[in-house]
Structure 1
């Protein structure tokens, strides 16, 4: 199954959101906000979001679901968008301010399949933590 680069980024965000078995409203709102404001999504027909999400769910529920979604997504992405894909996945998993083991495993799996270096992935992770930090009480 061939998908667009936009669809690929959305699939990776949806998997990040559902990797801990629950997709929260905060995660869905963040996905929508990122699609609405990031330049990488310019030209994406937002009316297709439900269709793209359903395609992702169908793939996830099929044989080798997780690997298949990730492999299809990465095959559809230009190499120069791999860091963007990882940043989006980290952004979605960071929304809840606490990463579950399943989310950490998904990010590790994604890191292993990408061709970006460890320093870049670490910088993306630190930046996400900084963006989501709250004032101490």
Structure 2
């Protein structure tokens, strides 16, 4: 069985979902998504010109009934188990990009963790690492 989206698209879907959870995507969150897709090995074969169309596609799905479940289901289907932890890490980085993690973002991290099957202890370590990377002096 083949997935309907590729792994890079799935990773972007997870990040866009996190950025959109509080009904406003901050510039810092959008920059973080752009930086992640430009720098990490998971996106070596990804054309940056596709980022905006993929993000818009995700936003359109999220507007549909059961959009969140659809987006996360597509992501789970497209990602291997080890890449699901990578997706969670990217979501955590986007969540802390604007230096505040609200209740909506915490709840979405929990939903992503449960949907993707990321171990709770692994998730806590990932979240703590994201917080440490985004501290200011």
Q: TM-score, normalised by structure 1?
A: 0.94
Unaligned runs of 5+ in 1: none
> How do 1:35-114 and structure 2 match up within 5 A?
35-114=37-116
1:38-59 deviation per Cα after TM superposition (whole angstroms, max 9, x unaligned): 0111101211112101210111
Deviant stretches of 4+, over 2 Å = none
User: Is 1:32 equivalent to 2:16 in the alignment?
Assistant: no
Distance across 2 between alignment mates of 1:17 and 1:66: 13
> For the aligned residues, what is the CA RMSD?
1.1
Q: State the Cα distance separating 1:79 from its structure 2 match.
A: 1.1
Unaligned residue ranges in structure 2 (runs of 5+): none
Number of corresponding residues: 135
Give the alignment's TM-score, normalised by structure 2. Answer: 0.94
Distance 2:32 2:123 in 1: 20
1:123 aligns with 2:125: yes
